[in-house]
């Protein structure tokens, strides 16, 4: 075995001895206490949750339901009513609804942090989670406790079980259940507002059951989930614009011309006013350059979307002294051209400036140091987001020359889900100059009784995909 092979074997053995990544992530926002056996009620809730329809089978069902798209929202409404809520109950939540292909989670995180700085009790629903499912449902920026999760899980689950038909038309899926549960949590815990991130698409997403959000936002658009949303960016834009509601202001970041036209058409049909967010530089005229808590130049567009969403929400709720627009608001209707008017920038108060600076969103351009190992973590999963990830990694990790003595080893740890073109994504990573690549399935555990069956069936498939990824990067590097 050559020296590179020996170093690889030594690295692999050493990697196995490291504490699990969740423990490292814990030090950046989650409990850092040693893992103790949680209450059995919580374990039972997680085990039962994992027996619900898996994400993969849910996506297959969504594809089938797209033949009659209204079926999905009707099914969601039925599940909501069986759980003890009506759609009109959700009007109380004063929701900010956000969709997009890239950056919607980051935009939501910026928005939530800004509004929390105004003394508001915030609710935040997002997906997916990194370590624990409780991360999807947050109050004041923190995942709900195990006690609260357990309480509301069994409350909702038992109500749905008690009202179950013998022949349900639509299966209760993992994401649907958590969305309904989140609504119960936010209503009963009396949050002041909810930042609601769309799961997939927009028009027929479970979150789009809401009727009266305060404001809507669309982050950067791209190609993803093509088997569900369509195989062109125009079709995807049509799905995303489906969250627009009559009379509810909506904002979007700069988009390619054709999908921007589609968003404009969706807004006109709703009808609702749609505005384009200005560049972040427009907010920096009267202040120092804004510092963002999230790394990467691409976060600047997410930050300006968050500023507009937060400012509009505060305005709609009657807040004063939140920054006057620097120019008058344009009319949203421009005759003759399918252009989207530019929203004016406004002066930023301390809560907004600090909100942008203090935002934390784990797993996005994140650096973790653990002993001699530095982890560079990002969830890029489209070609454009992977390009942004590579730019960030090269900027923060490749500024210095690599030691010639072999003391530094660069290892790619790669996982992908869904029907994405992994070869195209891996090709973009070549400039990162990795020495080794590790391909892994996206399972953290397979041993619990409640999920062993579904994981056992899928694990061989996932391992085959890892082999395909391995062959793909070998072919790319050989060329």
Q: What are the tens digits of pLDDT across the range 260-310? A: 999 999 999 999 999 999 999 999 877 689 999 998 888 999 999 999 999
Q: What is the pLDDT of residue 65?
A: 54
C-alpha 202/C-alpha 238 separation (Å) is 9
Percent of the chain with pLDDT over 90: 48
Q: What is the mean pLDDT of residues 223-244?
A: 81
Instruction: Inform me whether the pLDDT recorded for 411 exceeds 60.
Output: yes
How confident is the model at residue 92, as a pLDDT? Answer: 96
Nearest Cα residue to 342 out of 237, 459, 416, 252: 252
| Tokens 């929400």, located at residue | 313
Residue 156, C-beta contacts closer than 8 angstroms, at least 6 positions apart: 83, 177, 180, 181, 184
pLDDT at 458 over 60: no
* Averaged pLDDT, 241-246: 96
Which position has the token pair 């509601």?
Answer: 245
- What does the alpha-carbon distance between residue 377 and residue 365 come to, in Å, rounded to a whole number? 6
Model pTM? Answer: 0.80
406: phi then psi, degrees, rounded to nearest 5: 80, 10
Please answer whether residues 47 and 450 qualify as being in contact, where contact means their C-beta atoms are separated by less than 8 angstroms: yes
Contact residues for 132 (Cβ-Cβ < 8 A; gap 6+): 22, 30, 143
How many alpha carbons lie under 13 Å from residue 309 in its C-beta half-sphere? 38
Tokens representing 162? 């008690």
> Which residues, other chains included, contact 221 with Cβ-Cβ below 8 Å and sequence gap of 6+?
100, 101, 102, 233, 236, 237, 240, 255, 256, 259
Q: How far apart are the first and last CA of the chain?
A: 24
**Residue 70 and residue 67: Cα distance in Å, rounded?**
9
């Amino acid at each position: 075995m050559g020296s590179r092979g020996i170093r690889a074997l030594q690295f692999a053995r050493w990697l196995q001895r490291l504490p699990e990544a969740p423990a490292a992530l814990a030090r950046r926002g989650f409990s850092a206490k040693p893992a103790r056996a949680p209450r059995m009620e919580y374990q039972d809730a997680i085990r039962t949750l994992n027996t619900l329809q898996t994400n993969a089978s849910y996506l297959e069902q969504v594809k089938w339901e797209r033949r009659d798209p209204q079926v999905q929202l009707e099914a969601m409404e039925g599940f909501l009513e069986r759980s003890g809520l009506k759609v009109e109950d959700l009007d109380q939540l004063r929701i900010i609804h956000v969709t997009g292909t890239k950056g919607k989670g980051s935009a939501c995180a910026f928005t939530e942090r800004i509004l929390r700085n105004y003394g508001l009790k915030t609710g935040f629903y997002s997906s997916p989670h990194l370590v624990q499912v409780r991360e999807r449902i947050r109050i004041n920026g923190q995942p709900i406790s195990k006690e609260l999760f357990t309480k509301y899980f069994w409350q909702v689950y038992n109500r749905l079980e008690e009202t179950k038909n013998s022949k349900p038309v639509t299966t209760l899926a993992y994401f649907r259940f958590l969305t309904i549960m989140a609504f119960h949590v936010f209503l009963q815990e009396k949050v002041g507002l909810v930042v609601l991130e769309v799961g997939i698409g927009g028009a027929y997403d479970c979150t789009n059951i809401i009727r009266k959000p305060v404001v809507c936002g669309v982050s950067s658009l791209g190609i993803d989930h093509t088997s569900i949303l369509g195989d062109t960016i125009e079709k995807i834009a049509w799905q995303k614009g489906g969250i627009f509601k009559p009379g509810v202001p909506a904002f979007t970041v700069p988009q390619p011309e054709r999908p921007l036209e589609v968003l404009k058409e969706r807004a006109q049909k709703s009808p609702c006013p749609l505005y384009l967010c200005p560049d972040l530089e427009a907010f920096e005229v009267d202040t120092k350059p804004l510092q963002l808590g999230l790394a990467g130049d691409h976060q600047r567009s997410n930050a300006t979307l968050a500023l507009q969403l937060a400012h509009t929400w505060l305005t709609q709720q009657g807040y004063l002294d939140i920054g006057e627009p620097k120019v008058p608001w344009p009319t949203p209707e421009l005759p003759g051209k399918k252009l989207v008017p530019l929203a004016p920038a406004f002066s930023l108060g301390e809560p907004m400036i600090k909100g942008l600076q203090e935002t934390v969103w784990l797993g996005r351009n994140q650096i973790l140091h653990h002993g001699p190992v530095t982890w560079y973590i990002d969830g890029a999963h489209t070609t454009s987001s992977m390009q942004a990830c590579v730019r960030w990694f090269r900027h923060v990790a490749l500024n210095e020359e690599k030691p010639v003595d072999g003391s530094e080893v660069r290892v790619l740890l790669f996982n992908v889900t869904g029907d994405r073109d992994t070869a195209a994504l891996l090709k973009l990573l070549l400039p990162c100059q990795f020495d080794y690549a590790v391909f892994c399935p996206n399972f953290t555990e397979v041993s619990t009784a409640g999920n062993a069956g579904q994981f056992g069936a899928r694990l061989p498939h996932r391992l085959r995909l890892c082999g395909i990824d391995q062959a793909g990067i070998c072919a790319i590097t050989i060329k």
